[in-house]
Amino acid sequence: MLGHDEKAETEEAVLQSFKLKGHAIDLYVMPEALFVPNAVSRLFSKIVEIRPGDLVFDVGTGTGVLAIWAALEPSARVCAVDPVAEHCELAEQNARLHGVDHKLDVFHGSLFDPLPEGLKADVIIGDVSGIADAPGKALGWYSSEVPTGGGDGTEVITELLHQAHRYLAPGGKLYFPVAVGLSDDDKIMQAARECFASLVRKVDVWFPLSDEEYEIVSCCLPPALLERVQRKGSRMAWNGHIYEATEPKPA
């Protein structure tokens, strides 16, 4: 049984293959109901560095793609977290499929809340929801089952940034995404600067929108955000960043 609510119970999980850095990962996903890994998931795998013996937290694991990727790297242990019960169930199933369930534990809950007391990570992958509610839902990227980043897309990421210092080992690294134009990126970066002394932009990519997608986005974004969605060649596009944050500042 994959889910608790009616929609998830009537959905079929399907097996899809995803190419991440160094590993092809087959995952059971539910495209209609749950989050499906995308280009941003792949970009995280390109830039996250995992050293032998690292403890990795994958916060916002979805169906487990980056947690499984991290478990296939030379990490010692991976703890994955998601607030959607059906994501957690599929992430566990997917971890068994890849034979990494001995080193990957999945926790149901928000951010760091469900993790065992006292654990500190060498690497935190913080691929949590960072798209504002209206475009996230209107574009079909987030189903009603999956929480978005709230009204301006910042709610989950800024909370992650504020809490992360308590869960990073000395020298540890936090990776987090910023969707420029589809969230209030200034607010996210202000929180990032308040919380970390070192921020390095590791990914800076423009994602084209179809004409139909741009029309949807222009109907639901406030003008101050919409002006950051720019023309690149023949298409309008939004700008995706991924940052590596180190040297957390004391609270």
Ligand X SMILES: C[S@@+](CC[C@H](N)C(=O)[O-])C[C@H]1O[C@@H](n2cnc3c(N)ncnc32)[C@H](O)[C@@H]1O
* Shortest Å, Cβ 59 to ligand X: 5
Q: Is 241 in the site for ligand X (CB under 6 A)?
A: no
Shortest CB 184 distance to ligand X, Å? 17
Single-letter amino acid, residue 60: G
Spell out where the chain has E strands.
Answer: 14-20, 23-29, 55-59, 77-82, 104-108, 121-125, 168-180, 196-208, 230-232, 235-248
Buried b (16+ CB within 10 A) or exposed e, 59-76: bbbbbbbbbbbbbbbebe
- Rule CB under 6 A: say whether 168 interacts with ligand X: no
Among the listed residues 16, 110, 163, 246, the single contact to ligand X using CB under 6 A: 110
Which two structure tokens, joined as six digits, stand for 187? 């607010």
CA distance 221 to 113: 31
Q: Is residue 25 within the footprint of ligand X (CB under 6 A)?
A: no
| Integer-rounded Cα radius of gyration of the chain | 17
Nearest residue (CB) to ligand X, 55 versus 247: 55
Q: Among 56-64, 96-104, 210-218, 221-229, which window interacts with ligand X (CB under 6 A)?
A: 56-64
Query: Closest Cα to residue 223, out of 189, 178, 184, 190?
Result: 184
**Residue 108 binds ligand X, judged by CB under 6 A:** no
Answer yes or no whether residue 191 interacts with ligand X by CB under 6 A: no
Q: Which residues contact 99 (CB under 8 A, 6 or more apart)?
A: none
Q: By CB under 6 A, is residue 29 in contact with ligand X? A: no
Minimum CB–partner distance for residue 234 and ligand X (Å): 27
The number of residues that bind ligand X (CB under 6 A) is: 22
Summarize as ranges the residues that interact with ligand X (CB under 6 A). 35, 37, 41, 59-62, 65-66, 81-84, 87, 110-111, 127-129, 146-147, 156
